[in-house]
């Protein structure tokens, strides 16, 4: 008999916090950010970064505006140690940037960590040990008191090593690793014991970083834990509460957002969410989420492609095309109704001409991230007339009237179904040309024409190849278009009824072109469209009528 695998797991218990405040709060300002790309991100890579990649990544983090950067785990080995001590002695670290290193709570490792920072003007030493019941039992085989003792012993070494190097502005960070699966009173107890050793003040606060080392519950539970901790930690004004979420349940960003609402001051994460297992909190997503709420995250993500390219190069991990904000396809609509709404959104945006962004289906202006509007609409078999018209307008400047859009869309749909692939602008233009624009084998091919007469009585005389034979055809009407219609009727015996006509210029100045569109009804009741392009608007209209006649 098959066993139900869910019986292997235990539900995460709720937090007893009936008067929780965070659900009615909003995020109003950015937190202090820390990038752990070069540490938590790096330790999760198949091939950890070498010095060249770490340097390149560090420079990116500085460009993006990170002011706190965890640069590695000095005791891990020579690559890490040398990179960190090289960074300290280089002039790469701007004065307003503090570098941070991580260490287990073991004397030799802490000493090595301080040694790597010798000469730094400002640095954060980050100490951690796990505190949850499972880790206490499985990893350490220790009681609560003994595990608290690991933290206290480490804090003492931190205090003493820092005292030996008074020229560096030291900050301390302590992480009760596995905080999110530990008893809250025990996390507070351990953190308070560390504070007793390191004696933070409001001027020199300690960073208490509260990790969801493995994400095990819904993000509201993490927010409850943060609010509970913030209420119970002594000397709250001497503490910077920091969040460090992972993404095991896919809610690393959500947990950090709710954690900020619950009172946290600082957020740790990685650009594009790299990190152990399913990753760390994605700093790009959480920062740009703020952007869309009208809050400046104080990170510069205006060249998102630079971020993507550098992260990809350094980590050797491709980013998914649907990654929030940064993926290749996140500003692209293939489906008809989305395209229609986006196209209308851009038109409304132009008409309003105010400072607000309101384009359906685009939560953020791609231009704010250095992306163009070109790829916003792409065409395949899921697309509709709005999308096709958008591509033609962007590519060739043609503003097709609504019913012509619908007519042309059927041709594009047929092509998409035939080819079963995305259609690019060249494919769409080729189909437009072959459908509406003149070809030598058409029934009517205009060579040139003259127009004469008085207002309301116009005469059209055209040199036209009719069925391959060069002829002069003429017609009379109250305007040029009706004159051409009459000339065609003289040749074919059938009169087209013009039911709509549109024209517009394409471009400006000497290079401007004109486009004309006619919609006609045939004597047997069919609707046909014609398109004419020319440098001269009158000639474009003649071509449009002949195009319709050819298609009739
Ligand atoms: C949640 C996180 O991301 S934590 C950061 C994890 N990152 C890394 O581990 C990357 C860098 N790590 C390393 O290079 C190595 O693990 C080192 C250099 C730190 C340590 O190496 P080693 O001592 O050879 O091995 P190892 O990591 O297996 O050590 C495990 C021992 O440390 C103990 N330990 C684990 N974490 C801690 C801690 N935070 N504080 C004190 N002791 C710890 C374990 O209980 C175990 O003790 P035991 O040997 O008595 O059973
Ligand atoms: C070292 C700590 C902060 C960590 O990375 C984690 O718990 O995820
Ligand atoms: Mg982590």
With a 6 Å cutoff on the Cβ, whether 113 touches ligand 1 is: no
Listed in order, strand segments (DSSP E) in 384-468 are 444-454, 457-466
- Residue 114 sits at the vertex; the CA angle it makes with 110 and 116, to the nearest 5 degrees, is 115
Question: 40 a known binding residue?
Answer: yes
- At 1 the pLDDT is 66
With a 6 Å cutoff on the Cβ, whether 70 touches ligand 1 is: no
- CATH 3.30.160.270 boundaries in the chain: 444-551
Instruction: List all residues whose CB is within 6 A of at least one atom of ligand 2.
Output: 40, 102, 128, 175, 177, 209, 211, 213, 244, 246
**Which residue out of 128, 274, 276 has the highest number of ligand 2 atoms within 8 Å of its CB and is therefore the one to mutate?**
128
Residue identifier of the C-alpha nearest atom 21 of ligand 1: 76
Answer for the pair 125, 158: CB distance below 8 angstroms, yes or no: yes
Within its chain, how far is the Cα of 105 from the centroid? Answer: 38
With a CB cutoff of 8 Å and minimum separation 6, the contacts of 441 are none
Residue identifier of the C-alpha nearest atom 45 of ligand 1: 140
Buried b / exposed e over 318-327, threshold 16 CB at 10 Å, is ebeeebbbbb
Answer for the pair 402, 423: CB distance below 8 angstroms, yes or no: no
Answer for the pair 314, 57: CB distance below 8 angstroms, yes or no: yes
Q: Determine the Cα–Cα distance for residues 306 and 269; give it in Å rounded to an integer.
A: 18
Pairing of strands 98-104, 68-72: parallel
Q: How far is the CA of 181 from the centre of ligand 2 (A)?
A: 13
Q: How far is the CA of 276 from the centre of ligand 3 (A)?
A: 7
Which DSSP category does 496 fall into? P
Q: What are phi and psi of 44, to 5 degrees?
A: -100, 0
Classify residue 294 as exposed, middle or buried by CB count within 10 Å of its CB (0-12, 13-18, 19+). Answer: exposed
Q: Which of 386, 258, 289 is nearest to 333 (CA)?
A: 386
**Which residue out of 38, 44, 177, 208 has the highest number of ligand 2 atoms within 8 Å of its CB and is therefore the one to mutate?**
177
Residue identifier of the C-alpha nearest atom 8 of ligand 2: 213
Q: Determine the Cα–Cα distance for residues 287 and 51; give it in Å rounded to an integer.
A: 27
Report the Cα–Cα distance between both ends of the chain, in Å, rounded. Answer: 71
With a 6 Å cutoff on the Cβ, whether 174 touches ligand 1 is: no
Residue identifier of the C-alpha nearest atom 5 of ligand 2: 40
- CATH 1.10.287.1400 boundaries in the chain: 336-436
State ipTM.
0.98
Q: How far is the CA of 269 from the centre of ligand 1 (A)?
A: 21
Q: Determine the Cα–Cα distance for residues 108 and 114; give it in Å rounded to an integer.
A: 10
Q: Determine the Cα–Cα distance for residues 184 and 176; give it in Å rounded to an integer.
A: 10
- CATH 3.20.20.70 boundaries in the chain: 29-315
Question: 246 a known binding residue?
Answer: yes
Maximum distance among all alpha carbons in the chain?
A: 106
With a CB cutoff of 8 Å and minimum separation 6, the contacts of 235 are 195, 200
What are the average pLDDT values for consecutive 10-residue runs of the chain, which has 552 residues? Answer: 88 96 98 98 98 98 98 98 97 96 98 97 97 98 98 98 97 98 98 98 98 98 98 98 98 98 98 98 98 97 98 98 97 95 95 94 97 91 94 96 97 96 96 94 94 92 94 95 95 89 92 95 95 96 96 89
With a 6 Å cutoff on the Cβ, whether 36 touches ligand 1 is: no
Nearest-atom index, ligand 1, CA of 73 = 11
Q: How far is the CA of 244 from the centre of ligand 2 (A)?
A: 7
CATH superfamily of 29-315: Aldolase class I (3.20.20.70)
**Which residue out of 70, 79, 101, 104 has the highest number of ligand 1 atoms within 8 Å of its CB and is therefore the one to mutate?**
104
With a 6 Å cutoff on the Cβ, whether 280 touches ligand 1 is: no
Nearest-atom index, ligand 2, CA of 268 = 3
- At 375 the pLDDT is 86
Listed in order, strand segments (DSSP E) in 404-512 are 444-454, 457-466, 469-477, 497-506
Within its chain, how far is the Cα of 414 from the centroid? Answer: 32
| Helices and strands counted in the chain (H then E) | 16, 14
Question: 244 a known binding residue?
Answer: yes
With a CB cutoff of 8 Å and minimum separation 6, the contacts of 308 are 272, 319, 326
Could you tell me which CATH class the domain 336-436 is placed in? mainly alpha
Question: 504 a known binding residue?
Answer: no
With a 6 Å cutoff on the Cβ, whether 73 touches ligand 1 is: yes
Answer for the pair 392, 385: CB distance below 8 angstroms, yes or no: no
Classify residue 420 as exposed, middle or buried by CB count within 10 Å of its CB (0-12, 13-18, 19+). Answer: exposed
Q: How far is the CA of 415 from the centre of ligand 1 (A)?
A: 60
CATH topology of domain 444-551: Double Stranded RNA Binding Domain (3.30.160)
Q: What is the pTM assigned to this prediction? A: 0.92
With a 6 Å cutoff on the Cβ, whether 75 touches ligand 1 is: yes
For residue 214, give the ligand nearest its CA.
2
**Which residue out of 102, 179, 187, 245 has the highest number of ligand 2 atoms within 8 Å of its CB and is therefore the one to mutate?**
102
Tokens 């993006």 locate to: 64
Q: Determine the Cα–Cα distance for residues 158 and 127; give it in Å rounded to an integer.
A: 8
For residue 135, give the ligand nearest its CA.
1
Classify residue 392 as exposed, middle or buried by CB count within 10 Å of its CB (0-12, 13-18, 19+). Answer: buried
Strand order in the sheet with 497-506: 497-506, 513-521, 527-534
């Amino acid at each position: 008999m098959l066993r139900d695998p869910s019986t292997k797991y235990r539900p995460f218990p709720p937090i007893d916090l009936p008067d929780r405040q965070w659900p009615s709060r909003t995020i109003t300002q950015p937190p202090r950010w820390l990038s752990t790309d070069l540490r938590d991100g790096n330790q999760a890579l198949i091939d950890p970064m070498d010095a060249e990649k770490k340097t390149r990544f560090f420079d990116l983090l500085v460009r993006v505006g990170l002011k706190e950067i965890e640069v590695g785990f000095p005791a891990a080995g020579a690559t890490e140690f040398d990179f960190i001590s090289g960074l300290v002695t280089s002039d790469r670290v701007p004065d307003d940037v503090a570098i941070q290193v991580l260490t287990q709570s073991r004397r030799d490792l802490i000493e090595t960590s301080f040694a790597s920072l010798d000469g730094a003007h400002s640095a954060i030493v980050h100490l951690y040990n796990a505190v949850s019941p499972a880790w206490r039992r499985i990893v350490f085989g220790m009681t609560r008191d003994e595990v608290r003792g690991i933290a206290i012993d480490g804090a003492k070494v931190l205090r003493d090593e820092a005292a030996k190097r008074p020229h560096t502005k030291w900050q301390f960070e302590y992480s009760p690793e596995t905080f999110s699966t530990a008893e809250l009173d025990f996390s507070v107890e351990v953190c308070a014991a560390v504070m007793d050793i390191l004696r933070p003040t409001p001027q020199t606060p300690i960073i208490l970083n509260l990790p969801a080392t493995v994400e095990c519950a819904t993000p509201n539970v993490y927010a409850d834990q943060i609010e509970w901790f913030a209420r119970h930690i002594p000397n709250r004004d001497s503490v910077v509460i920091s969040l460090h979420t992972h993404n095991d349940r896919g809610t690393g960003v959500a947990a950090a957002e709710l954690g900020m609402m619950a009172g946290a001051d600082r957020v740790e994460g990685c650009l594009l969410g790299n990190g152990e297992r399913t990753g760390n909190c994605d700093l790009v997503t959480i920062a740009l989420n703020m952007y869309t709420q009208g809050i400046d995250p104080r990170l510069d993500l205006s060249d998102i492609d630079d971020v993507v390219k550098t992260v990809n190069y350094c980590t050797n991990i491709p980013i998914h095309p649907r990654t929030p904000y940064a993926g290749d396809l996140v500003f692209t609509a293939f489906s008809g109704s989305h395209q229609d709404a986006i196209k209308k959104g851009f038109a409304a945006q132009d008409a309003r001409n105010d400072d607000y962004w309101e384009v359906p289906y685009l939560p953020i202006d791609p231009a704010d991230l250095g992306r163009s509007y070109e790829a916003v609409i792409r065409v395949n078999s899921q697309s509709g007339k709005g999308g096709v018209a958008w591509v033609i307008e962007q590519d060739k400047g043609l503003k097709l009237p609504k019913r012509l859009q619908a007519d042309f869309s059927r041709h594009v749909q047929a092509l998409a179904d035939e080819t079963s692939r995305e259609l690019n602008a060249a494919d769409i233009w080729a189909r437009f040309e072959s459908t509406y624009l003149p070809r030598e084998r058409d029934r009517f091919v205009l060579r040139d024409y003259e127009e004469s007469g008085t207002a309301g009585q116009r005469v059209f005389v055209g040199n036209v190849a009719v069925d391959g034979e060069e002829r002069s055809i003429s017609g009379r009407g109250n305007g040029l278009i009706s004159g051409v219609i009459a000339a065609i009727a003289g040749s074919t015996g059938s009169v087209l009824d013009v039911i709509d006509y549109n024209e517009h210029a394409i471009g400006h100045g000497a290079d401007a072109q004109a486009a004309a569109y006619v919609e006609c009804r045939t004597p047997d009741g069919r609707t046909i469209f014609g398109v004419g392009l020319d440098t001269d608007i009158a000639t474009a209209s003649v071509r449009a009528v002949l195009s319709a006649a050819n298609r009739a």
